[in-house]
Amino acid sequence: MNLTVSNYFGGTMNGFSTATINTRNTGISKSSSFSTGKSTKKSLNYNAKQISSQLIRATKSRTAAAVLTKAKSTVNNLQHCLGTGEYDDSEVQIALAHAKRMVKCAQSKVSNLKQEENLQRKYEREKSAKEMQQKSEVKRRVHQKENNLKQKMATEEIQQVQKEKSRRQEIIRKRRMHRNEERSNINEADMKYLQNTMDYKHGGISTAAGAATVDLSYVGLQMSELQQMEAQTEAQMNAELNATADAGTVDTATCDSGSSAAAASFNGSVSSGSVL
């Protein structure tokens, strides 16, 4: 007796089985066949690459959080399929295990991206604060340099004004000295001329009193003109000195000493001439 059993499986569907029993000793052959029917199990439509590929491409925590939500939804759907009996339980269990791992991976990815973003924001805040500090320091240095430059320019300007005043004062002193020397020389020449004239006239033929009176009048006129010239020159120099801020009060006694001495000498000479 021979027993032959053939089984056919297609996906999750079972085929049919046949059994043949042969009895040789009796010469009777019996054949029996039966069909078990088709199975009602559905094919599980689960894409294992969908969640993982989206998770790999995620570069922001918000994107990774969206993938995490989708992974959790997939787990819930697979758990629902497991209890319906419409799908092969083994296949559903394999997909469910993978989906749960994707949830953990997504949670880890979200946590890591949040840490990276927080660290990036921290570094950006520190960088921004450093840049602001550097800009503030640059502004402070520029302001300080401007103040130093202004102070330096003000000091140089004051020094320049003082130099100009000193130069003007030096010029005025030179003028006074030169004018005094010139007046002294002029007075000396005039007095010498008058003295020689008086000596000539007193020692000559005409020695009358009228001539002496004329000489004295001439001498008085010359003295008056000299005094007026000295007064004008003195007034001009005083005006120039007053034009400077720190000229101060200038002593005029020294400047007039030469002319005063010359005038006194001249008056003495005239007096001696009139007595004669």
- The confidence band for 10, taking pLDDT boundaries of 50, 70 and 90, is very low
pLDDT of residue 214: 46
Least confident of 62-66, 151-155, 266-270: 266-270
Each residue's pLDDT tens digit, 26-36: 333 333 333 34
Residue type, 48: A
User: Hey, what are 142's tokens?
Assistant: 């520029």
DSSP 59-101: -SHHHHHHHHHHHHHHHHHHHHHHHHSSB-HHHHHHHHHHHHH
Residue showing tokens 């500090």: 133
**Is the pLDDT at 22 greater than 80, yes or no?**
no
DSSP 38: -
**Is the pLDDT at 206 greater than 90, yes or no?**
no
Output the CA–CA distances (angstroms, integers) from residue 202 to 177, 192, 196, 272, in the order listed: 37, 15, 10, 12
pLDDT of residue 68: 96
- The confidence band for 219, taking pLDDT boundaries of 50, 70 and 90, is low
Cα–Cα distance measured from residue 214 to residue 201, given in angstroms and rounded to the nearest whole number: 11
pLDDT of residue 24: 42
Element (H, E) at 13: strand 13-14
Least confident of 38-42, 75-79, 184-188: 38-42
Coil vs helix vs strand at 264:
helix
pLDDT of residue 112: 96
For the whole model, what pTM was predicted? 0.43
- The confidence band for 64, taking pLDDT boundaries of 50, 70 and 90, is very high
Higher pLDDT, 148 or 22: 148
> Would you kindly state where each structural domain of the chain is located, as residue ranges?
3-34, 176-275
